[in-house]
Amino acid sequence: MTAFYLQANYESRMSGRPVRGNFGVRVVQTDVDSIGYRTPLTVTQEEGLYFVEEVPGAEYEKVLQTNSYTELLPSLTFIIDLNDDWVFRAGVFRGLSRPDPHSYGNSRSINTNDSDDPDSGYASLEDAVHGISSPGNPKLQALPSWNVDVSVEWYANEDTLLAAGVYWKQFQGAFENAYQPEDILIDGNVVTGSVRTTQVSDDKSDLAGLEVTATHSFDYLPGFLGGFGAKFSYNYADSDFEFEDGHGGDGTAYDADGNPVRLLGLLPPAGLWGLSRHTSATQLYWQNDRFSAQAIFKARSRYFQGFSRDTTARVRYVDDYKTLDLRLRYDMTDSIELSLEGINVLGEPRIDFRALVGEVVQTLEYGPRIFAGVRARF
């Protein structure tokens, strides 16, 4: 990947109020070289049937596929101090989301058969390379998106901040199942097969949400009470982005002329990976010059998480999840710090659904996790 950017900061005044921000553009050139190693295949024909087998002891054949794309990504931010207590922020930018690197994998799984089993013979070589499975697609494109966010912040006093914002994102494309033609070499014969993989569709999808944040410190209270404080954040997000199940979702095949043919699946699509509609965090803390204690309660609604990180993942959902974490820190000296952290101290289990919400596939009991640490600075 090669990228360069230009950015300029600005400061001015509007209606007597100070404004500031920046604008710029980033150009990203991505080149993909995906190398796969495959066992050579041999073919025999008996009684009109074809039998495809791996060549025993043969060296792997190196197969290279390449891909490249260039994206122009502009951005603009704007901030204005409405008065001494209120700040308005706005931004618009074009972003780029890429699949995990292994989603560009070049491996292929070809169903071989054995001439010792006459019933396993193929009527043609084309049948032998139909429906080849692949965990990756070197031709996979990235997902560009336009992003807009607007927020307002109220600094009620030195101890209180209230903020709210809305945001919107539009993806240009989505992942879908595809059966793509590809030339496969079998015993010197070039055969056009059908590879089951993932491609980026031309569909557009939106994500919209809002977030609120509140923080307050009680340091104006006398003595011990002045060490307390609280923080709260909540986020709501909704999207019509669709992720098709790698085996049971909708897809696209291509006929002999390269025309797309829509395939209907059995399972409904999932949404964005890891996106919960409701997410919140509540934090209570106490601190002084040497000691701090925090209790953090986090909650999130159901979200999609595939069984693997690639774009051909099977659909899986994680049920609503709540955790309580505790953190303690003590500065023994100016250079030695002790810490103790408890994760999920209430032992909240994780419940996974497979394909359909409500179809429990597993319940995971991790239990609390405790971490103790010492840090020294010299």
pLDDT in tens, 217-259: 999 999 999 999 999 999 999 998 887 776 677 677 766 676 7
Contacts for 65 with CB less than 8 Å, ≥ 6 apart: 34, 36, 106, 138, 139
How does pLDDT run across 3-45, given as a tens digit for each residue? Answer: 999 999 999 999 889 999 999 999 999 998 988 887 777 777 7
DSSP label at residue 79: E
Label residue 208 by pLDDT band (50, 70, 90).
very high
Q: Could you identify the residue written with the tokens 């104006």?
A: 220
How does pLDDT run across 104-137, given as a tens digit for each residue? Answer: 887 777 777 666 666 677 777 777 777 677 777 8
User: Regarding predicted confidence, which is higher, 315 or 230?
Assistant: 230
Phi, psi of 331 (to 5 degrees): -90, 100
The per-residue pLDDT for 273 is 83
The per-residue pLDDT for 206 is 92
Label residue 296 by pLDDT band (50, 70, 90).
very high
The per-residue pLDDT for 313 is 60
The per-residue pLDDT for 241 is 85
The per-residue pLDDT for 328 is 97
The per-residue pLDDT for 139 is 81
- Among 171, 165, 167, smallest CA distance to 144 is for 171
The per-residue pLDDT for 356 is 76
Q: Answer whether 146's CB lies under 8 Å from 75's CB.
A: no
Is the pTM value of this prediction over 0.85?
Answer: no
The per-residue pLDDT for 40 is 79
Best-predicted range by mean pLDDT among 55-59, 253-257, 361-365?
Answer: 361-365
